[in-house]
Amino acid sequence: MFESISEKFGSIFSRIRGTAKLSEENISQAIRDIRMALLEADVNYKVVKDFVGHVKERSLGEEVTGRVTPGQQFIKIVHDEMVTLLGGAEAKMSLSGAPPVMVMMSGLMGSGKTTTTAKLGAYLKKGGRKILMVAADTQRPAAREQLMSLGDRIGIDVYSTTETDDPVEICQEARSHGAANGYDVVILDTAGRLHVDRELMDELATIKRAVNPAEILLVADAMSGQDAVNAAEEFNAALDLTGVVLTKLDGDARGGAALSIKAVTDRPIKFVGVGEKHEDFVAFDPVRMAGRILGMGDVVSLVEKAQEVVDEKKAKELEKKLRKGAFTLDDFLDQIKSIKKMGSLEGLMGMIPGMKGLPGGVDLTQAESEMKRIEAIINSMTQKERDNHTIINGSRRKRIARGSGTRVEDVNRLLKRYSTMKKMMKKVTKGGLKGISRGNIPF
């Protein structure tokens, strides 16, 4: 995510970080570099012009404090302006009022609107609301079937009918159905087109007048850059959007749409899609996103991801096992699975300040391959072998290697690491961190 622009900002910041004094000359050079980085990231030209103007104005003002270096102060100014550009604060959904609250999804065909409808439904369901999704796209073949399939997968009801092809009637009937059956939120998956046209806008405007949605969200493909921004302008002019959902943000190396859309449309980004799974959908936070774009990490998101995958009861049980020295290969496997649930190692490293793009760092692709290999090896063991690794003799090692598609050397290496880890854990639980050095940590 934003790999290209993050690298450029990292380079700019490294040059100015140690600056003893901010002068018009070094500020101007940094501003030129920032302008070029934003333009190469496909950020709207007017947005770039305003952004660098604000940064320059503040940098030349009396804003440097005695507690930080001038270079650090410049970086803070860029960060603050980036937060403002992205919206300033997290924009919440407006779901107050008598149920069912109507939410209308709009967007061009191919932007991921139907998938995003399901992701939003799953997100709101996790918050305790009863959700009804509505198949109101009567234009795209199999759109209805796709939404119903997604609904089955995430356990959310879908309102669908073949008695009428009129999307306005479908949305009105769905609202009545939602009110009669105790749904809190009704999400309308409306039709899209390959491009903005009058017929599409008229249809959406009619639906808006018919059901009066509390939220009208545009689903836009982040990877389409300024095309997404242009579409947002046209949809906003016709529908008066309440917010934007950016999809495929995990594949967006440049960041042009994310950095332009709020400034151009004056409509906040409310959610972002960062993967294919329904849980890869998060509320957009300008402060966190600015940190990611500028290479400052996002520790809050990292902690939240950890909280989502860690079972508190299991964590306490694991702590007891560690104290008793009863940490088994099954427990080791559980920890690997928890890490995998949090996402790719590259993505996790990007959330840690200063870890993204470190020269000579760990080969994360190799590390992920090693995790898969360890998982395969442990899965090939019997329960007795997982509970007591000391019974794994030569013939058992050969069988485990064959069953996991690995070599005996890989099995030996895992067992050696596991034994070292158990010894290390024993030292930690008995005598704190005394005697534990970086050199004897196995992973």
pLDDT tens profile 322-361: 666 667 888 778 777 777 666 665 555 555 444 454 444 4
281 and 251 in one domain? yes
Cβ neighbours around 128 below 10 Å, total: 7
268 and 174 in one domain? yes
Confidence of residue 104 (pLDDT cuts 50, 70, 90): very high
Point out the least confidently predicted range of 324-333, 384-393, 408-417. Answer: 324-333
Rg (CA), the chain: 26
For residue 62, tell me if it sits in a domain.
yes
CATH number of domain containing 32: 1.20.120.140
Cβ atoms 248, 218 nearer than 8 A: no
Point out the least confidently predicted range of 94-98, 159-163, 325-329. Answer: 325-329
Query: Is residue 67 predicted with pLDDT exceeding 60?
Result: no
Query: First and final CA of the chain: distance in angstroms?
Result: 26
**Host domain of residue 68:** 3-85
Residue type, 400: I
The total number of structural domains that make up the chain = 3
**Longest Cα–Cα distance in the chain:** 74
Beta bridge partners of 102: 186
Query: Is residue 37 predicted with pLDDT exceeding 80?
Result: yes
| 11-34 residue pLDDT tens | 888 787 766 677 778 788 889 999
Distant-in-sequence, close-in-space partners of 45: CB < 8 Å, separation ≥ 6 = 39
CA pair distance 386, 303, nearest whole angstrom? 30
Pure H helices in 139-166: 143-154
Q: Tell me what pLDDT residue 183 has.
A: 95
179 and 256 in one domain? yes
Domain boundary among 52, 85, 118: 85
CATH number of domain containing 243: 3.40.50.300
Q: 297 or 205: which carries more pLDDT confidence?
A: 205
Query: Is residue 216 predicted with pLDDT exceeding 90?
Result: yes
Domain boundary among 245, 261, 293: 293
417 and 328 in one domain? yes
Beta bridge partners of 131: 185
Beta bridge partners of 221: 247
Q: Tell me what pLDDT residue 435 has.
A: 42
Q: Tell me what pLDDT residue 20 has.
A: 66
Q: Tell me what pLDDT residue 65 has.
A: 47
Cβ atoms 157, 151 nearer than 8 A: yes
128 and 79 in one domain? no
Confidence of residue 235 (pLDDT cuts 50, 70, 90): very high
Tokens linked to 64: 């440097």
For residue 299, tell me if it sits in a domain.
no
SS3 220: strand
169 and 112 in one domain? yes
Domain boundary among 264, 293, 322: 293
CATH number of domain containing 424: 1.10.260.30
Of residues 363, 343, 362, the one with CA closest to residue 302: 343
Distant-in-sequence, close-in-space partners of 98: CB < 8 Å, separation ≥ 6 = none
Query: Is residue 224 predicted with pLDDT exceeding 50?
Result: yes
Tell me the backbone φ, ψ of residue 159, rounded to 5 degrees: -90, 120
Q: Buried b vs exposed e over 267-294: b needs ≥16 C-beta within 10 Å?
A: bbbbbbbbbeebeebbebbbbbbbbbbb
According to the per-residue pLDDT averaged within each range, which of 179-183, 338-342, 370-374 is highest? Answer: 179-183
Sign of CA dihedral 202, 207, 212, 217: negative
CA pair distance 172, 69, nearest whole angstrom? 60
